[in-house]
Amino acid sequence: MKPTQKKTSVPRPTKQPPITSPTAIQSASPSAHAALTSPTPSTDWVVLAQLLRPQGRKGELLAELLTDIPEQFEAQPHVFLAPANFTGTAEDPTLRRIEVASFFLPVGKNQGRIVLDLTGIDSIEQAEQLAGLELILPREELLPLEEDANYVTDLIGCAVYNRQAEQDIHIGTVADLQFALTPDGSRRLEDAAPLLEVTGLNGEELLIPYAKHFLLTLDVPAKKIVMQLPEGLLEINQ
């Protein structure tokens, strides 16, 4: 299995084992064009990127890429601009359809992020007003994932169990996903497994490597992850 973020991909797919936002991530790990559809009131939204700040003088924006499939922006350039953690319907007035005119993946200190040119955003001032917003799509408009890959948004909210002596012990719920960074925090380490940020049963924070050799099963519809963790790992990572 592989988790999100990197070819050029767009939700958070997670690729480790082998997670974009939107994260696809493969625990330890596309090519069809998505149809432009009208989301239903029960839309399942996936976050592709979070806008950070202007990048350049012509309205381009630097964004946190939450997917391993940047090609998503080529296959489906018409995305939705939404407030962070949006859960509303397509009729929500805070939702705005916008087109990704072009994008590129920077190197250096911003490696692992993405620079987006959004249609109609032509100045630094306009770009500044979008900082903190997210680019999202209905799940049905996304490119198909590689086998064993999942979006970061699929993992958040999952109950996590640790198998011990053939029993699955509930240890907490996934609150977020962390990606390993260089010591100066400037870029992501592509070969390092992401960490599940788990809220324990007593409110404590647990950091668990989302690595293929620890993962037993992931049931996205049931929001359940079963892992087999080395003895002492939970105590070390609290």
* pLDDT tens-digit series, residues 35-49: 334 444 447 888 899
The closest alpha carbon to 35, from 142, 110, 125, 121, belongs to 142
Do 17 and 61 fall into the same domain? yes
Q: Can you give the residue range of the structural domain that contains 68? A: 13-141
| Residue scoring higher pLDDT (12 or 217) | 217
158: domain CATH number is 2.30.30.240
Mean pLDDT of 157-161: 96
Do 102 and 26 fall into the same domain? yes
State the pLDDT at residue 173.
97
Mean pLDDT of 182-211: 83
State the pLDDT at residue 70.
81
Give the angle 26-28-30 at the CA atoms, nearest 5°: 30
Q: Does the pLDDT of residue 26 top 70, yes or no? A: no
State the DSSP string of 24-62: -B-------PPP-----TT--EEEEEEEEEE-SSSS-EE
Mean pLDDT of 167-193: 80
Do 109 and 185 fall into the same domain? no
What share of the chain has pLDDT > 70, as a percent? 78
Strand, coil or helix: 149:
coil
Q: Does the pLDDT of residue 34 top 50, yes or no? A: no
Q: Give the alpha-carbon dihedral of 109, 83, 33, 78, to 10 degrees.
A: -100
State the pLDDT at residue 21.
39
Do 104 and 34 fall into the same domain? yes
| Token representation of residue 166 | 């053939």
Do 21 and 94 fall into the same domain? yes
Q: How far apart are CA 70 and CA 81, in angstroms?
A: 17
State the DSSP string of 93-132: TT-EEEEEEEEE---GGGTTEEEEEETT--SHHHHHTTTT
Is residue 8 domain-resident?
A: no
Please state, rounded to an integer, the average pLDDT across all residues of the chain.
Answer: 80
Q: How far apart are CA 69 and CA 51, in angstroms?
A: 17
| Residue scoring higher pLDDT (208 or 43) | 208
Q: Please check whether residue 1 is in contact with residue 17, taking contact to mean a CB–CB distance below 8 angstroms.
A: yes
Distances (CA, A) of 130 to 50, 86, 93: 10, 15, 16
Q: How far apart are CA 107 and CA 139, in angstroms?
A: 29
Is residue 50 domain-resident?
A: yes
Domain count, the chain: 2
Do 165 and 111 fall into the same domain? no
First to last CA, the chain: 25
Is residue 33 domain-resident?
A: yes
Do 164 and 131 fall into the same domain? no
